[in-house]
């Protein structure tokens, strides 16, 4: 079916509210998953690097298992298996949980790599002035690690935005689902998929630029 530009713009105008709402859900889901996943991921990275043998083994099993599982499977498991086990989560909550868990395993690995790359002399110098480990982490390791993980972390954040499209499978009204609903009503598949793609690109483009801005701002002068 051929549509004129006027028809497309007209339908886009009519569908503006559900699409903006869908975009809002996508951004909220991705943002929550990134924040929760990153906080959890820092804990995972710490455990992988400085944990006792048992803790290291447990977190290693966790990251390997999660990273080896497709996000779609995690999303479905989080909704259906938790539901069957008596933990009733809304599709949105279940989706965010799955994304956050997935994000945490990736961030955990990134943080481990960054922490292990910090010279041991930094920890020794911090110890030598009497800092406790939590203080060393807060004032020495974390600021150095953050600078190292930033580029890869931005990448993971963008992946989370893209992975959030999978939440439409369990009925979360995200940007993709909102677009599909408009398409099923108007049959304008190409223009609306293209428009959705453009919005995803814009969000990720913004994340990437924000990442580069933070990278520039936190660069250590030398």
Partner 1 sequence: MASNILEIQNLHKRFGAVEVLKGIDCAMKQGDVVCVIGSSGSGKTTMLRCINMLEDFSEGTIRIDDQDIGYEIRNGVRRRKSEKEIARQRALTGMAFQQFNLFPHMTATENIMLGLVKVKNMHRDQAHAIAEKWLDRVGLLERRDYYPGQLSGGQQQRVAIARAIAMSPKLMLFDEVTSALDPELVNEVLLVIKDLAREGMTMLLVTHEMRFAFEVSSRVIFMNQGRIGEEGDPREMFLNPKTERLAEFLKSSTFN
Site for partner 1 in 191-220 (CB under 8 A): 220
**Dist CA 4 CA 116 (whole Å):** 58
| Per-residue H/E/C for 157-198 | HHHHHHHHHHHHHHCCCCHHHHHHHHHHHHCCHHHHHHHHHH
Residue pair 154/211 in contact (Cβ under 8 Å)? The answer is: yes
Residue pair 156/214 in contact (Cβ under 8 Å)? The answer is: no
- Determine which residue in the list 72, 73, 87, 125 makes contact with partner 1, applying CB under 8 A: 125
- Contact segment (CB under 8 A) with partner 1 among 53-61, 127-135, 191-199, 200-208 equals 127-135
Q: In the chain, what is the straight-line distance between the N-terminal and C-terminal CA atoms, in Å?
A: 60
Beta carbon nearer to partner 1, 16 or 127: 127
Site for partner 1 in 131-160 (CB under 8 A): 131-133, 135, 139-140, 143-144, 147
Beta carbon nearer to partner 1, 6 or 52: 52
For the CB of residue 69, give the shortest distance to partner 1 in the complex, in Å: 36
- Determine which residue in the list 2, 54, 121, 217 makes contact with partner 1, applying CB under 8 A: 121
Instruction: Decide: is 117 part of the binding site for partner 1 (CB under 8 A).
Output: no
**Binding residue count for partner 1, defined by CB under 8 A:** 22
Exposed, middle or buried, 93 (CB in 10 Å: 0-12/13-18/19+)?
Answer: middle
For the CB of residue 210, give the shortest distance to partner 1 in the complex, in Å: 20
**Dist CA 11 CA 85 (whole Å):** 43
Residues making contact with partner 1 (CB under 8 A): 119, 121-122, 124-133, 135, 139-140, 143-144, 147, 220-222
């Amino acid at each position: 079916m051929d549509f004129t530009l006027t028809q497309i713009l007209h339908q886009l105008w009519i569908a503006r509210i559900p699409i903006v709402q869908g975009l809002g859900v996508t951004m909220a889901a991705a943002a929550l998953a990134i924040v929760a996943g990153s906080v959890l991921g820092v804990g995972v990275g710490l455990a992988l690097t400085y944990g006792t043998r048992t803790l290291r083994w447990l977190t290693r099993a966790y990251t390997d298992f999660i990273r080896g599982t497709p996000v779609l499977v995690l999303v479905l498991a989080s909704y259906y298996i938790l539901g069957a086990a008596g933990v009733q989560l809304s599709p949105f909550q279940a989706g965010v949980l799955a994304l956050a868990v997935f994000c945490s395993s990736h961030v955990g690995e990134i943080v481990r790599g960054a922490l292990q790359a910090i010279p041991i002399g930094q920890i020794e110098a911090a110890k030598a002035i009497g800092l406790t480990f939590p203080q060393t982490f807060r004032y020495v390791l974390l600021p150095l690690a953050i600078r190292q993980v930033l580029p890869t972390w931005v990448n993971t954040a963008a992946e989370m935005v893209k992975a959030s499209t999978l939440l439409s499978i369990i009925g979360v009204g995200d940007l993709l689902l909102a677009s599909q609903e408009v398409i099923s009503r108007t049959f304008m598949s190409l223009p609306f998929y293209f428009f959705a793609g453009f919005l995803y690109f814009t969000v990720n483009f913004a994340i990437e630029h924000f990442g580069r801005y933070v990278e520039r701002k936190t660069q250590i002068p030398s």
